[in-house]
Structure 1
Amino acid sequence: MAYLSTGEVARRLGVKPETVYAYVSRGLLTSVPRRDGRRGSLFAEDEVAAVAERGPHRRRSGGDIHTELTRLGDDGLFYRGRDVAGLAATMTPEAVAHLLWTGEEGERSPFPAPAERVALARAVTSALPDSARLTDRVRVAVVAMGAADPLRFDLSTGAVVRTAEQLMGVLVDALAPPSALSALSNAAGGGLGRRLWPALSPYPEPPGLLDAALVLLADHGLAVSTVAARVAASARAHPYAVVSAALGALDGHYHGAASGLAYRFLADARRDPVGAMSERMRAGEGLPGFGHRIYRRRDPRASVLLALLRERPEAAPIMATVDAVLDNLDPDRGQFPNADLALAALMHAYGMPADAGETIFAVARTVGWVAHAIEEYAEPPLRLRPLAD
């Protein structure tokens, strides 16, 4: 068997000698002592070749993330094999949450929101300054709820599902004005979309519209916030900490703030569509809310949500703006509306604040973050540690 020195391995893999020994500590390579009296180690050439072929990011311990939850491809989005467009038309957010969490289908009751937990969430968020965003209130409420839950370290699937149900129920009720919450408690039904709507819009809720948005945004594969959630779960962080880690990644302007940028673009485009486009193109910027790194000609989430908006008379003015922009774009060049643009249109149609889209995204994606945490809890702990070159 042929052997290579540390320096030869480093050159073969394109890394520093120190990284070679890091690979040994991670189980990627096996070192053997030299027999010629010289310092250093030797490495089997065939093992080095295997590492070079599969790439240094791969680990024997199973550090790759494999998920059964969501599939993206051919401009489609599927939760456990179910087309998201069909789910948005036929299932409530609660039912889709259980589909992702457990794989089980069927209608579900409204998520619980114990009065004392809602009061706690309201109390801690009331201390925030007026400049705090809705998502800031969500982050603070999640931390407070975790601190108040003595059973948060129970990571069995049943316990995590119960925790997630209550977490989401409390969040949407705590965000809503108390007067709206009282009215909802006396009305028939009480799904997530209906409970969240009063926190976002002064207008009457179009039946099912926000529910559909929550379903469409529940998961999207290994987005950066979802990876953050899985890394936290790999360390066996409890569900509140998992959601907090994901919310931290969401706060980046390349992720959660995207719908706010699209909102501001549409605000300019309502006055002058071509001028708004020209201004951003002149600055060398892409158009906020258009194109996607994964999809090629259409974002299925945007297609569904924009189609629902077209059915609403009150959304006609903003949809006319969207169409005026689309008339000057070419989908063959990747210039198609994405989910952020659809959220921005929803926000404009119903008088929502500029950060409403990020809040909708955070509430919806909590479902996916918890689902990924449940998957990760079944994997070996601390496996998601990347290698440094």
Structure 2
Amino acid sequence: MRDQEPPSPHTDRRLTTREAAELLGVKPETVYAYVSRGQLSSRRVPGGRGSTFDAQEVETLARRNRRESSGSSASGGELSVRTRLTLIEPNTYYFRGVDATELAARHTYEEVAEWLWTGRLRPGNTFTAPEASVDAARRAVDALPEHTGPTDRLRVAAIAAAVADPLRFDLSEDAVLGTARTLIPTLVAALPTTRGGRRRDEGPLAQRLWARLSGRDADEASLRVLDTALALLVDHDLAASTLAVRVAASARAHAYAAVSAGLGVLEGPLHGAASGLAHRLLLDVLDEGDAAPVIAEELRAGRRIPGLGHRLYPGEDPRARVLFGLLEEIPRAAPALAAARDIVATTARHTPLHANVDLALAVFTASAGMPATAGETIFAVARTAGWIAHALEEYGERPLRMRPSGHYVGPRPPQPLPEPEPLP
């Protein structure tokens, strides 16, 4: 049972706007912003223009704000969100306190996703998509132009699956977990198979995804790399796409909509598409036979070298370390691995940056005969599980809390109405 707040001696007293603002430590206009968000109630002053506020309600909000600010980041006012999901440290990262690289090495993507969602492992667990959901998603994706990118396809598939689910607005934990277990295989099933690929809609998710990425037959070692990559990429704390998901969930958007928000952010070249840039760079090095001229051309064009460095890891990205280790067991990956080492060594002459997971994904996708967009697809499918885990956490928080205040720097009002400009 939760302890109750002690009664306030000012329970019957009403506060003016200025008094409420002083107690909350905000500007008077922010008090009315709290009212508009439903966090405070107000009462108009009879015969006047101002409003009054219940003293106990204001004090409760002030205490809550103090508690939240005490848990916020001390690094220059950056947004900080409490989470039980992922902890990132300089050399590794953890899912619910367990080393994520060990989890990914010992368990399938589906099992790691369940651990992230529930804190329980379910050995042999696989995801199954309902036929109606898959049919709706496939029809929507098949109607897209041929040049459509993978993230667009996944976003359209998520929206179509949402429309086919009449229970999508149920935000209870059991309902959202049910959505998670069906949405991820639906997204994979909606993707078109590559030329020569054999469509699979049963078995481990990595096996089903392979036919959407490569026309080659999958060997056991390659499937292990794909499954491990999916498990490693399940979550990575508050990346940009994950923050977008939490904002959507804070507004109580359903799980399909929250995932769609994440996919929208993922499409940026600095996030999910980064592995595609590394893939193209790797192919150029393989064609040239030497990283030096390729790196020189990238730098001459003013472009950053993709696949190197990570702001959260001063050393080697632990996800890259695991994948490179697995790729060394695949003979056909040897040329791409050598090219990746050449890229790192050449760049290290001036900037000692380590390979990140994007370069490791590039080695895998290039050596498996996959297109440059394959890494983006792997990233998006994998991260969907993490997005839903964060949405579940956010559904348990106060609604609409992900609402920072803007710092207005425009012209001071009142300004005159603008003059209409003639049409060209």
Q: With structure 1 as the length reference, what TM-score do the two structures score?
A: 0.82
Instruction: Tell whether 2:209 aligns with 1:191.
Output: no
Q: How does 1:1-389 map to 2 (within 5 A)?
A: 21-22=29-30, 25-26=33-34, 64-177=80-193, 184=200, 190-205=203-218, 206-270=222-286, 271=288, 272-330=290-348, 333-389=351-407
Q: Is the 8 A contact 1:296 1:334 kept in 2?
A: no
In the alignment, the residues of structure 1 paired with residue 343 and residue 276 of structure 2 have an alpha-carbon distance, to the nearest angstrom, of 17
Deviation for aligned residue 1:180? 8.7
CA offset digits 1:198-235 (Å, max 9, x no partner): 00011222231111000010000000000000000011
RMSD: 3.1
Give identity over the alignment, percent: 46
CA offset digits 1:293-346 (Å, max 9, x no partner): 111011011111111111100101111111222222439955111111111111
Give the SS at the match of 2:375: helix
In the alignment, the residues of structure 2 paired with residue 217 and residue 228 of structure 1 have an alpha-carbon distance, to the nearest angstrom, of 17
Give the SS at the match of 2:346: coil
Deviation for aligned residue 1:75? 2.1
Deviation for aligned residue 1:178? 9.9
Matched residue type, 1:195: R
In the alignment, the residues of structure 2 paired with residue 149 and residue 331 of structure 1 have an alpha-carbon distance, to the nearest angstrom, of 55
Greater helix fraction, Structure 1 or Structure 2: 1
Structure 1 residues 318 and 23: alpha-carbon distance in aligned structure 2, compared to 1, 3 A threshold: farther
Q: Is the 8 A contact 1:69 1:80 kept in 2?
A: yes
Deviation for aligned residue 1:385? 0.1
Matched residue type, 2:217: P
Structure 2 unmatched runs, 5+: 1-17, 40-49, 51-61, 74-78, 408-424
Deviation for aligned residue 1:23? 6.5
Structure 1 residues 332 and 112: alpha-carbon distance in aligned structure 2, compared to 1, 3 A threshold: farther
Match of 1:36 in 2: none
Q: With structure 2 as the length reference, what TM-score do the two structures score?
A: 0.76
In the alignment, the residues of structure 2 paired with residue 254 and residue 195 of structure 1 have an alpha-carbon distance, to the nearest angstrom, of 28
Structure 1 unmatched runs, 5+: 1-5, 29-38, 40-46
Structure 1 residues 178 and 266: alpha-carbon distance in aligned structure 2, compared to 1, 3 A threshold: closer
Match of 2:413 in 1: none
In the alignment, the residues of structure 2 paired with residue 284 and residue 64 of structure 1 have an alpha-carbon distance, to the nearest angstrom, of 33
The higher relative CO (CA closer than 8 Å, separation ≥ 6) is in 1
Q: Which has the larger radius of gyration?
A: 2
CA offset digits 1:230-273 (Å, max 9, x no partner): 00001111100000011111112221211111111112111131
Q: Is the 8 A contact 1:297 1:331 kept in 2?
A: no
